Amino acid sequence: MHILVTNDDGVYAPGLLALAQTLRKIGKVSILAPDQNWSASGHVKTMHRPLRVKQVVLADGSQALASDGAPSDCVALALLGLIEEKIDLVVSGINPNANIGHDVTYSGTVTAAMEAVINGIPGIAVSLDSPENHHAHLDYQPAANLASQITHHVLQKPLPTGVLLNVNVPYLPLDKIKGIKITRQGLRVYRDSLDKRVDPRGRPYYWIGGEAPTAIPEEGTDYGAIYAGYVSITPLQLDLTAWNVISELESRNWA
Amino acid sequence: MHILVTNDDGVYAPGLLALAQTLRKIGKVSILAPDQNWSASGHVKTMHRPLRVKQVVLADGSQALASDGAPSDCVALALLGLIEEKIDLVVSGINPNANIGHDVTYSGTVTAAMEAVINGIPGIAVSLDSPENHHAHLDYQPAANLASQITHHVLQKPLPTGVLLNVNVPYLPLDKIKGIKITRQGLRVYRDSLDKRVDPRGRPYYWIGGEAPTAIPEEGTDYGAIYAGYVSITPLQLDLTAWNVISELESRNWA
Average pLDDT over every residue of B54-61: 97
Q: Judge: B185–A254 Cβ closer than 8 Å, yes or no.
A: no
The whole-number pLDDT of residue A212 equals 87
Model confidence pLDDT, tens digit, residues A13-69: 999 999 999 999 999 999 999 999 888 888 889 888 999 999 999 999 999 999 999
- Whether A86 is in a domain gets the answer yes
Alpha-carbon distance of B196 to B205, in angstroms, equals 6
- Whether A178 is in a domain gets the answer yes
Residue B246, chain A, CB below 8 Å: the answer is: yes
Of B102, B100, B82, the residue nearest B6 (C-alpha): B82
Model confidence pLDDT, tens digit, residues A80-111: 999 999 999 999 999 999 999 999 999 999 99
- Whether A29 is in a domain gets the answer yes
Instruction: Give me the CATH number covering residue B100.
Output: 3.40.1210.10
Domain span at residue B26 reads: 2-186+216-250
The whole-number pLDDT of residue A40 equals 80
Give A 3-32 residues with CB within 8 A of chain B: none
Nearest-Cα distance to chain B for A59, in Å, is 25
- Whether A199 is in a domain gets the answer no
Give B 198-217 residues with CB within 8 A of chain A: 203-208
Alpha-carbon distance of A65 to A83, in angstroms, equals 10
Pure H helices in A24-78: 71-77
- Whether B220 is in a domain gets the answer yes
Residue A254, chain B, CB below 8 Å: the answer is: yes
**E runs forming strands in B43-134:** 53-57, 63-67, 89-95, 123-129
Nearest-Cα distance to chain B for A203, in Å, is 9
Nearest-Cα distance to chain B for A241, in Å, is 5
Residues in chain B with CB shorter than 8 Å from the CB of A235 are 241-242, 245-246, 249
- Whether B144 is in a domain gets the answer yes
Average pLDDT over every residue of B25-53: 93
Average pLDDT over every residue of B151-157: 95
In this predicted structure, the answer to whether residue B31 has a pLDDT above a threshold of 80 is yes
- Whether B201 is in a domain gets the answer no
> Number of A:B CB contacts under 8 A?
204
- Assign B134 a pLDDT band (cuts: 50, 70, 90): low
- The continuous run of DSSP H or E covering A150 comes out as helix A141-156
Range with lowest mean pLDDT among A128-137, B1-10, B181-190, B225-234: A128-137
The whole-number pLDDT of residue B223 equals 97
Model confidence pLDDT, tens digit, residues B184-213: 999 999 999 999 999 999 999 999 999 889
Residues in chain A with CB shorter than 8 Å from the CB of B77 are 194, 206, 208
In percent, how much of chain A has pLDDT > 70? 98
The whole-number pLDDT of residue A42 equals 87
Residue B155, chain A, CB below 8 Å: the answer is: no
In this predicted structure, the answer to whether residue B135 has a pLDDT above a threshold of 80 is no
Residue B236, chain A, CB below 8 Å: the answer is: yes
Phi/psi of residue A127, each to 5°? -135, 150
Nearest-Cα distance to chain B for A45, in Å, is 5
Give B 42-71 residues with CB within 8 A of chain A: 42-48, 50-53, 70
Q: How many residues does chain A have?
A: 255
Q: What rounded mean pLDDT belongs to chain A?
A: 95
The whole-number pLDDT of residue B131 equals 83
Model confidence pLDDT, tens digit, residues A180-217: 999 999 999 999 999 999 999 999 999 999 988 999 99
In this predicted structure, the answer to whether residue A160 has a pLDDT above a threshold of 80 is yes
Work out how many domains chain B is built from and give that number: 1
The whole-number pLDDT of residue A39 equals 83
- Whether A194 is in a domain gets the answer no
The arrangement of strands across the sheet holding A53-57 comes to A53-57, A63-67, A28-34, A2-6, A89-95, A123-129, A163-170, A231-237, A180-182
The whole-number pLDDT of residue A38 equals 87
The whole-number pLDDT of residue B199 equals 95
Q: Judge: A51–B106 Cβ closer than 8 Å, yes or no.
A: no
Give B 159-188 residues with CB within 8 A of chain A: 159-160, 162-163, 179-180, 182, 184-185
In this predicted structure, the answer to whether residue A255 has a pLDDT above a threshold of 90 is no
